């Protein structure tokens, strides 16, 4: 009688242990899925006629040259896209993440930004520009000490017009975009100074 109870107890403990492992696994899967859903949704194809992915940008897009914005192109925007937003930043700056460009409310029928976007608050097509970490409106190119740095041009397709005033920061734009990102794409470039 005692042996049977002991056996049942071991079986119950074994069942409980396996059930616990399965529960933890399911919670882990659920947490991973509840993250940023844009990573699992449609992806914008972002390119530049000026450089390829992980390729070096010309110094004309930096403080060593004309310091103008590079041309960007994107496609595969999903249905329901109302506007686009672009954020350019580098995680490799000496002070940490550095924001080079914040531009938003780009109309849905736009599929590119031309080279040398004017450094003004509002463009002719209605798009607005925020402040970069140089505390200036529009694009501010790389201007770092020696070494190679990566630059990420992130393009977002949104289901809203943010109607944010001009001059907002990257963080303010990201907050306004929460829950409205239909698709996202990224183009990474590098620039090295000696």
Integer Cα distance of 149 and 56 in angstroms: 10
Q: Where are the chain's structural domains?
A: 1-35, 40-193
The architecture that CATH gives domain 40-193 is Alpha-Beta Complex (3.90)
pLDDT tens-digit profile of 68-115?
999 999 999 999 999 999 999 999 888 889 999 999 999 999 999 999
Q: How confident is the model at residue 1 (pLDDT cuts 50, 70, 90)?
A: very low
pTM, entire model:
0.78
Reported as a single tens digit per residue, the pLDDT across 147-168 is 788 999 999 999 999 999 999 9
């Amino acid at each position: 009688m005692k042996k049977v109870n002991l056996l049942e107890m071991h079986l119950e403990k074994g069942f409980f242990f396996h059930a616990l492992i399965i529960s933890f696994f399911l919670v882990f899967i659920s947490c991973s899925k509840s993250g940023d859903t844009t990573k699992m949704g449609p992806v914008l194809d972002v390119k530049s006629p000026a450089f390829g992915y992980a390729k070096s940008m010309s110094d004309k897009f930096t403080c060593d040259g004309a310091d103008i914005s590079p041309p960007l192109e994107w496609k595969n925007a999903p249905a329901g896209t109302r506007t686009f937003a672009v954020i350019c930043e580098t995680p490799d700056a000496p002070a940490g993440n550095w924001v080079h460009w914040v531009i938003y409310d780009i109309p849905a029928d736009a599929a590119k930004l031309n080279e040398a976007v004017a450094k003004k608050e509002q463009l002719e097509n209605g798009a607005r520009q925020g402040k970069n970490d140089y505390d200036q409106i529009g694009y501010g190119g790389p201007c770092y000490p020696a070494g190679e740095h990566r630059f990420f041009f992130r393009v977002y397709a949104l289901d809203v017009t943010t109607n944010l005033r001009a001059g907002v920061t990257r963080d303010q734009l990201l907050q306004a975009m929460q829950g409205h990102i239909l698709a996202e794409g990224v183009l990474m470039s590098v620039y090295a100074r000696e």
